[in-house]
Every structure is written in structure tokens, then in C-alpha cells.
């Protein structure tokens, strides 16, 4: 029999929805917060449904969002280094190692409202091996997923993150992985991912926003 695939813990950093997604312009603040919350909840739910994912650890300082995502089955910790995404992920990985020492950490953007569990599973399966790996975003230059063994876990999210991860020894994961490559920062991005099928909360929230109905 083949050896079982390694399990993963997804690290999902989420800004408080009331402060997130500032590039969703032309809508009311409460609509922006509703979309940001919906993006993150749909992303978390897709992660929880993935075969290779054994746990999801959400990193957030928003108590209301924390309660919502915990009801889905995710674990939640506060963001101990607010304002430094990569350091937050490193601390999240340390906590994940304490809770689930046998699971490999995978840092994922929380704004993938069309994410399909099958795409995430395909990426995680392709990342199996000794070293770090990452998924470049559809626009090019950014990163939506980064994974590495704990001792090699050095996320470099931010401008030019794909090149930074590559320079740090991570290998790019090939394949279509369409729903995993399309993060959403603008209303135009949201329209672009509709063809992959929006998660249920995002679909409902987008209908409540008049310009997207």
C-alpha cells in the first residue's frame, strides 16, 4: 500500500472585516465588511472540506468573525503581531506545531471566495516533498499559498512575494489551480471569479451589493 499523504494545517490570516478589503471601492462600508467576512468564511469552509487538510487555524483579532469561523470547525487564535503578516504566520505555525505536531503548515490567503477544495487538494498533493512550495496568483508576482516543513517555514507575502519565495528556495506549483490562483481585492476581481462559482456567503453578499446583483 502507498504511504498515506501527509496532513496539512492551513493557516488563514484574516483582518477584522470592518478594516479589510479597502480596495473594494464604490460600495458602502457595511457592504465591504460583509463581503470581506464572506470571502474569509467561504475560504475557510473550502479548506475544511479538503481531503489533505486536517485542521484550519485562523489568525484574527475580530471576536465576532472568530466566533463565526469557529462554528464551521476551524480553530482560532488572536493575531499576536498585528501589522506584520509574515510574522503573524510564523507565530501561527509555531502554535500549529504545538497543537498538531504531525501536520505541515500551509499559509493561505483568506480572500479566495471561489476556492474549490479539489484545487487546494491538488496543490497540497503536488507540494509533498522535503522543501517549501508556493502557488503564484493569476495576475503574476503574488502568492496565494505557501507551504513548507516547520523548520523551513519562512513566508514572504507582500509585493513581489512569488520572487521572494522562489529566492528563498520554494518551488512554484504548476497546473491550472484556477480557483486557488484568483484572490479578490476589487469588485472587478470578484466579477472575474464568478465563473468558478462563488461560495454561498459571497454569492449572497454580492447580491446584497446593488452593483453586483
The reported pLDDT for the residue numbered 1 is: 37
- Residue 180 burial (CB count, 10 A): 29
Report pLDDT digits (tens) over 89-138: 999 999 999 999 999 999 999 999 999 999 999 999 999 887 999 999 99
Q: Is the pLDDT of residue 213 over 50?
A: no
How many Cα atoms occupy the beta-carbon half-sphere of 181 within 13 Å?
17
DSSP SS3 for 74: coil
Q: Is the pLDDT of residue 14 over 90?
A: yes
Nearest partner of 10 among 102, 83, 103, 82, judged by Cα: 103
Percentage of residues in the chain having pLDDT higher than 70 = 95
Report pLDDT digits (tens) over 154-210: 999 999 999 999 999 999 999 999 999 999 998 899 999 999 999 999 999 988 775
At the topology level, CATH places domain 8-212 in: Spore Coat Polysaccharide Biosynthesis Protein SpsA; Chain A (3.90.550)
pTM: 0.93
Q: Give domain limits for the chain.
A: 8-212
Q: Is the pLDDT of residue 151 over 70?
A: yes
Please classify residue 184 by burial: count the beta carbons closer than 10 Å to its beta carbon, then call 0-12 exposed, 13-18 middle and 19+ buried. Answer: buried
Average pLDDT over residues 136-141: 96
Amino acid at each position: 500500500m502507498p504511504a498515506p499523504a501527509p496532513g496539512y494545517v492551513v493557516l488563514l490570516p484574516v483582518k477584522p472585516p470592518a478594516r479589510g478589503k479597502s480596495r473594494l471601492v464604490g460600495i458602502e462600508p457595511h457592504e465591504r465588511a460583509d463581503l470581506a467576512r464572506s470571502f474569509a468564511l467561504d475560504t475557510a469552509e473550502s479548506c475544511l472540506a479538503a481531503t489533505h487538510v486536517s485542521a484550519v487555524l485562523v489568525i484574527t483579532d475580530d471576536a465576532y468573525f472568530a466566533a463565526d469561523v469557529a462554528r464551521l470547525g476551524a480553530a482560532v487564535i488572536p493575531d499576536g503581531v498585528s501589522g506584520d503578516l509574515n510574522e503573524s504566520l510564523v507565530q501561527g505555525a509555531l502554535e500549529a506545531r504545538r497543537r498538531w505536531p504531525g501536520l505541515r503548515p500551509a499559509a493561505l490567503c483568506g480572500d479566495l471566495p471561489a476556492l474549490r477544495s479539489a484545487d487546494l487538494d491538488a496543490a497540497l498533493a503536488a507540494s509533498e516533498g522535503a522543501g517549501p512550495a508556493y502557488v503564484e496568483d493569476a495576475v503574476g508576482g503574488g502568492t496565494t499559498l505557501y507551504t513548507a516543513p516547520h523548520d523551513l517555514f519562512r513566508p514572504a507575502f507582500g509585493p513581489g512575494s512569488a520572487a521572494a519565495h522562489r529566492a528563498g528556495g520554494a518551488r512554484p506549483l504548476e497546473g491550472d489551480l484556477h480557483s486557488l490562483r484568483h484572490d479578490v481585492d476589487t469588485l472587478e476581481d470578484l466579477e472575474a471569479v464568478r465563473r468558478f462559482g462563488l461560495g454561498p456567503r459571497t454569492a449572497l453578499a454580492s447580491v446584497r451589493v446593488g452593483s453586483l446583483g
